[in-house]
Structure 1
């Protein structure tokens, strides 16, 4: 998602964010099958891409080009809803040599790094494998929501586990962009529960889905546009993520201000 990266004296606007597994160095770990804990720490190598990093590589040729070695505790666990959960908290601390250049927020000019400078990229993962829920339906809506990147949007959804028996609905308006999306077909759906969920079996507080539909902006319609959405209604973790056209056409989310709220 597009986001603001805030430091004490400077703020950067991040876009074009990607995170790709290193194809030549696979994730490594040994799991205790009795406890679910990864022995020691898990090592996951990945390549991060975003506009600030691209500017860094362009403006400071001495920047290392290898993948990041995210390392940290990881475990598999089974929760009360029958979900298998993977939790991983990976981080890497990279010393940044004194005298090296770093992009300014305009991504065109630079400043010079001082002594004891470091970069601290991290990769946090919480993934769930859930039983199928063909009878489930989640619906809701919200108006004039402000994303963490200060875009105003509205949305409405009614998503079934079995689209053959219940027609799916998803509508999204980005008021800041002046664009609208309407779902035509649902290609994948998953219903899950947050780890703190107290709902009864068969009930869910989170829906994640993908599909295709029409994007309309400036009276120009584009068909067969991909959409990826996650909506969490959990009391302690309400969240929405919407990506249109692989997040290139439009993307919003409501990232919590306190990062501790999403620590896996």
Structure 2
């Protein structure tokens, strides 16, 4: 597992699963001749996307950013349609760090699409139960409301099995929420109406988790929005805002979906200064 220390925060990437989605959908109106130079694709024009939660340890507290693909929840049809090659190994990842799901103090949910929220619950003989039983679950109120009352488009990704058994743990916030000193969740909209990012600033060091506004390193271009975005123009404006802010502060940007990079630091000109590459495994 890859780790990165930024100020007081230690970030460790857990194994949350992997799927392959259409590259054209992931890059929207951008021609393949352009995005294909930035991110590898297979013979079906699909790109590899991780769904790897980030364990965030600050001041003796254990937080996790998003929850992975989950286990035993997808139908054979969903596995095929979503290109799922591997489900979550969160328990095993945490065990390697001498932790368990019971040790997690809070889940920081950027949004609640299935590939981010399936790991919040697990199937039982009587339905579903919470995976992180001792954790508060933070998510924007807009996202939480839509999760429980999806529209005709979002019903395809907001599923009752991912929220009903954890609703007593959910702590919805409005525009901004200070998780702990230096760490904020900020509602941006864009990818979904309730989408949020995370911002951490400590002693002159900064990292920003853009979630699905910039899901991979190849989405650095401010105009490259996903076809999956419900509000792509909002995504573009929010990316422009937070990339400019990050460049000025030489911030690290962390990734949940990128199959090749865990984090990248950019300078004031937007050029790469440092990077943490994802380690490939023998079975891949």
- TM-score w.r.t. the length of structure 1 is 0.26
Relative contact order, CA 8 A, sep 6+: which one is greater? 2
- TM-score w.r.t. the length of structure 2 is 0.25
Which structure has the highest strand share of the two?
1
CA radius of gyration, larger in: 1
Which structure has the highest helix share of the two?
2
